Every structure is written in C-alpha cells, then in structure tokens.
Amino acid sequence: MALRFFNTLTRATEEFAPIAAPAVGMYCCGPTVYDFGHIGNFRTFVFSDLVRRHLEFRGFAVNHVMNITDVEDKIIRRVHETGLDLREYTRQYIDAFLQDLDALGCRRPHQMPRATDHIAAMLRLIARLMERGLAYRAADGSVYFSIDKYRAAERWPGCACRYGQLVNLNLEEQRPAGPVKADEYDKEHVADFALWKARVPEDGGVFWESPWGPGRPGWHIECSAMSLEILGDGFDLHVGGEDLAFPHHEDEIAQSEGAGGLAGGLWEARRPFVKYWLHAAHLLVEGRKMSKSLGNYFTVRDLLARGFTGRDVRQLLISAHYRETFNFTLDGLEGARTALARIDECTGKLRELAGPAIAAPAPALVEAFTAALDDDLNVSKAWGVVFDWVRDTNRALAGGELDPTRAAAELAAWGTVDGVLGLGGRPSAEAPAEALALVEARTAAKKAKDFARADAIRGELKALGWTIEDTAKGPKLKRI
C-alpha cells in the first residue's frame, strides 16, 4: 500500500507524491523562543520528527527545516523586561529547546534558520507584494497585506488567489474594522495583517532598516520567507499544530502565492506554495489546550525532575493518533513507562537468547507496522501491532520455541520499527551512579564471599527503586 496523509489543503487522505521524489522538502513551524517550550508544543515537534523518520524509513531523502522564531511581539516584551539584548535573551531558550529535543529522541532538523538571520529574504518578499499591489503602507508606517487586493489578483494566469484554503471562511461576515498589527489575532476575524511593523518606542533597539523605514517583520512573513528561501518556490510538506492553520498558515499561503514565491517560481511552475499540509491536534489538560496563558502546562524539564525519562514522555506523546486531541495526565505518563518496560523486558530476553547471532529483520512485525503508519501515520494501529508482537514473542520465548537466530531476527525487526518510533533502548546510564556503584560493591562483596553484605546491598538498591538480576553475562539492574 502506498503512503497516504490527510492533507488539510484538500481535506482528504491522499497518496504522498512529492514534487521531485525521492527528495522531500519539509518545513515545520518551530518554537517562539520567549520561554521554555511545554510538552504541548513538543507534541507537535515530536510529531514532525515521526513524519520525518517514517519518510526516511520509506526511502525518501528528507530536508527537514524547522525555524526558530526569535523576533516577535512576546519576545520583544520579555527583552525589555529583562534588559537583555535580543540575541542574548533568545540564546538561552534556543539552547534549552535543543536539549529538550534531544531528551525526547528527536532527530535534529537539518536546518534551523533563525528569523533574525533571514530579514533580507523577508524584505524581498514584501517588495514583491508591493510591486504586485498586494501590500500597502498604512498611516502608522507599517506595511500590511491587503486581503481584498489578493482576492482580486491571480496566482498565475487564469487562477484566482483564494483566501481561506485551509479553513472555511465567511469573508463578508468575518471582517474586522481595520488592519491588525499584532502577530496573534482574533481567530474570528479576517484582517489585513502586518508584513512589516514600523518601529515604535517600545521596540527599543530591536529594529532593522527597510525601504519602508525602520521596523521589524511580522510573524507570518518570517515563515514564508524562510521556507521559500531554503526549500525553494513550492515545496512538499508543511507541518504544525492545528492552532496555526488559521491565521498563521493561511497568511503564509496568501503572502507566498500572492508574491509568486521568492523568485517567481510559483508563477512559472503554476504550483502552490505547499503541496501537503499536516496539522497535529492539541495536547489537552482536563479538556483544555495545554498552554502558557492557561498556566496548565508541564515543561520537559518539569517531568524529568519528577523522575520520568524523555523516552517516557516521547512514548506518551506518540501514543495517540496525531489528528486526535488527548488529555495529558501523570497517570498516563506512568502508563507510558509501564508500556516501555514491557517492550524492554521482551527485547532484553531476545538479546540474551540471540547472543552474538545476527539475522535480517523478521518480516511480520515490520510489514504490519509499516502498513499502519502508511495509513496517515496511524500510530494507534501501530502500537496494537507492537504489543501483539510483544505478547506473541513472550509466549514463544516462554515455550522455548525460539533459537538464537530467530531471536536475532525478531530483535532486528524491533530495531527497524524503533528506527521510526525513535524510543531507543533503555539507556544503562539511566540507573543513577549511586545504583551502579552499589552493583560494583555487591560484585566485590560476593567475590570476597561476604554474602551478608551482598544481601544488604540488594536491600539498599531496592530502596532506590532497582533490583538486581544475575544473568550469564553478569548482574543487571532492573527498575522495580
């Protein structure tokens, strides 16, 4: 079966056929670095990692771009509160973001452009919109995108520009009185939005020169310019959280298609800005979106401090289908930990039995898993496949039905599947240094035939939450 995705643009599940296979250009709206990201944000980023991993597994050569929004209304406010310089202020949250991505087992995007490094491309795009008469300078000196002019223009000869491609809009009813300068505006309204925001005293030192006077870019133009500059005029895949579909993504389409691309490529090829749009549903807390403004959030660091691992959090975040919202609870996270322990136990036993044996992946698990993910990344189905496999493998192990080669083949199958899930093995370093030191002390005590001490150490490990198993390859720590 072919790989299929639900495309928000056509509201249909479609076969994935990139513009120039096997190359795939993929853009994901990245973090706004005004603070630590919460795990709601990371649901979207882990989802984009899953998309990328599955595409790579299916033989595509993905160029994964994720921007960093490092100039925007909220950031400017914080910069002034802290008195730091913009770069200094955002640096700490960019570093934290990368650490969190690593903790969650995400492959680093190939390119992570920062908005402030791409101002020239933004100015070029705005200039094209001005030339085509789709943008105007208002009395406040800012440059706005004209929705009316855009709707009356052509995307390419004979093809009208359409505002409302990702969402259904009622343009006559949803009109605000005038243009809006804020990056995040009321979702109930369709408005002329700011491309270039004229400098105001509150901006302090955060401004750039432009043909329309000093100022800074709007959030929407940032993503259009960076994606077009890096992936070219017209690319395959754009990913983000569902809250971004309108107005952020709709505005990205309008600016990019209105301008014909950064170099006129959309006009020449008569091609849309983006072929496939994928939107991830929200992570909820007690039925409401996890968000900074509601104060109902956990950061990755909060959860690590509670003793969970990045792997536990990743498992939870990819346990539900990406188009379904789901409620975050600490119990759910405990459940993720238990699920991983079941897998780890099974693969641990396979590893022991396989020893040095090497074999090609057993096909059954890989085939069923691939079919599930090819179906619009149906992870719910994929987890069903994985846990059926765990159950059947445990049975076969208990019944003595597997030889080392077969065990190695099942293990290789798990390795293939996990290349997409990205969970990785339970890192041995995960046991705290204190527990590892106790294991060594116990080995030394046993060597010295001090069995009372060896038993006492068992008790000390138990108090730390670990138990020791003596295997043919030496003692092994296991979480209780």
Report the interface residues with ligand AMP, using CB under 6 A. Answer: 29, 31-32, 40-41, 43-44, 240-241, 243-244, 282-283, 289-291
With binding defined as CB under 5 A, does residue 223 bind Zn ion? yes
Cβ count near 169 (within 10 Å): 18
Q: For residues 9 and 278, what is the distance between their CA atoms, to the nearest angstrom?
A: 9
Residue from 254, 54, 81, 258 nearest 166 by CA:
254
| Residue whose CB is less far from Zn ion, 181 or 249 | 249
Number of residues that bind Zn ion (CB under 5 A): 2
Buried b (16+ CB within 10 A) or exposed e, 290-310: bbeeeebbbbbeebeeeebbb
Whether the CB-CB separation of 52 and 113 falls below 8 Å is answered with no
| Residue whose CB is less far from ligand AMP, 380 or 471 | 380
| Closest residue by beta carbon to ligand AMP | 241
| Residue whose CB is less far from Zn ion, 113 or 361 | 113
Q: Which stretch binds Zn ion (CB under 5 A): 23-31, 169-177, 201-209, 370-378?
A: 23-31
Whether the CB-CB separation of 28 and 230 falls below 8 Å is answered with no
**Binding-site partner at residue 291 among ligand AMP, Zn ion, none, CB < 5 to 8 Å by type:** ligand AMP
**Binding-site partner at residue 41 among ligand AMP, Zn ion, none, CB < 5 to 8 Å by type:** ligand AMP
**Binding-site partner at residue 53 among Zn ion, ligand AMP, none, CB < 5 to 8 Å by type:** none
Which parts of 355-432 fold into alpha helices (H)? 363-374, 379-398, 404-421
Torsion angle of C-alpha atoms 402, 405, 411, 412, degrees rounded to 10:
-150
**Binding-site partner at residue 289 among ligand AMP, Zn ion, none, CB < 5 to 8 Å by type:** ligand AMP
**Binding-site partner at residue 31 among Zn ion, ligand AMP, none, CB < 5 to 8 Å by type:** ligand AMP
Q: Which stretch binds Zn ion (CB under 5 A): 26-34, 169-177, 364-372, 446-454?
A: 26-34
Buried b (16+ CB within 10 A) or exposed e, 324-362: eebebeeeebeebbebbeebbebbbbbeebbeeeebebb
Q: What's the closest the beta carbon of residue 340 comes to ligand AMP, in angstroms?
A: 22
Q: What's the closest the beta carbon of residue 352 comes to ligand AMP, in angstroms?
A: 39
| Residue whose CB is less far from ligand AMP, 222 or 418 | 222
Q: For residues 149 and 152, what is the distance between their CA atoms, to the nearest angstrom?
A: 5
**Token pair for residue 404?**
């080392």
**Binding-site partner at residue 223 among ligand AMP, Zn ion, none, CB < 5 to 8 Å by type:** Zn ion
| Residue whose CB is less far from ligand AMP, 109 or 258 | 109
Q: For residues 60 and 57, what is the distance between their CA atoms, to the nearest angstrom?
A: 7
| Residue whose CB is less far from Zn ion, 69 or 370 | 69
Q: What's the closest the beta carbon of residue 386 comes to ligand AMP, in angstroms?
A: 23
Peptide bond into 31 cis (omega under 30): no
Strands of 23-28's sheet in order across: 61-66, 23-28, 235-241, 274-280
Q: For residues 480 and 307, what is the distance between their CA atoms, to the nearest angstrom?
A: 14
With binding defined as CB under 5 A, does residue 228 bind Zn ion? no
Q: What's the closest the beta carbon of residue 219 comes to ligand AMP, in angstroms?
A: 8
**Token pair for residue 305?**
């401090």
Q: What's the closest the beta carbon of residue 105 comes to ligand AMP, in angstroms?
A: 18
| Residue whose CB is less far from Zn ion, 29 or 253 | 29
| Residue whose CB is less far from ligand AMP, 113 or 240 | 240
**Binding-site partner at residue 243 among Zn ion, ligand AMP, none, CB < 5 to 8 Å by type:** ligand AMP
Can you say how many angstroms the Cα of residue 202 is from the centroid of all Cα atoms in its chain?
Answer: 33
Amino acid at residue number 375: D
Q: What's the closest the beta carbon of residue 163 comes to ligand AMP, in angstroms?
A: 21
**Binding-site partner at residue 379 among ligand AMP, Zn ion, none, CB < 5 to 8 Å by type:** none
With binding defined as CB under 5 A, does residue 29 bind Zn ion? yes
**Token pair for residue 324?**
């379904």
| Residue whose CB is less far from ligand AMP, 225 or 244 | 244
| Residue whose CB is less far from ligand AMP, 68 or 191 | 68
Q: What's the closest the beta carbon of residue 70 comes to Zn ion, in angstroms?
A: 13
With binding defined as CB under 5 A, does residue 122 bind Zn ion? no
Length of the chain: 480
| Residue whose CB is less far from ligand AMP, 171 or 182 | 182
Strands 4-7 and 12-15: antiparallel
Strands 159-160 and 154-156: antiparallel
Query: Residue 6: CB partners within 8 Å, gap ≥ 6?
Result: 12, 13, 14, 278, 323, 376
Q: What's the closest the beta carbon of residue 240 comes to ligand AMP, in angstroms?
A: 4
The DSSP result for 95-137, as a single string, is HHHHHHHHHTTPPPPSB--BGGG-HHHHHHHHHHHHHTT-EEE
**Binding-site partner at residue 354 among Zn ion, ligand AMP, none, CB < 5 to 8 Å by type:** none
| Residue whose CB is less far from ligand AMP, 290 or 413 | 290
Q: What's the closest the beta carbon of residue 265 comes to ligand AMP, in angstroms?
A: 26
**Binding-site partner at residue 272 among Zn ion, ligand AMP, none, CB < 5 to 8 Å by type:** none
Q: For residues 350 and 427, what is the distance between their CA atoms, to the nearest angstrom?
A: 17
Positions that interact with Zn ion (CB under 5 A): 29, 223
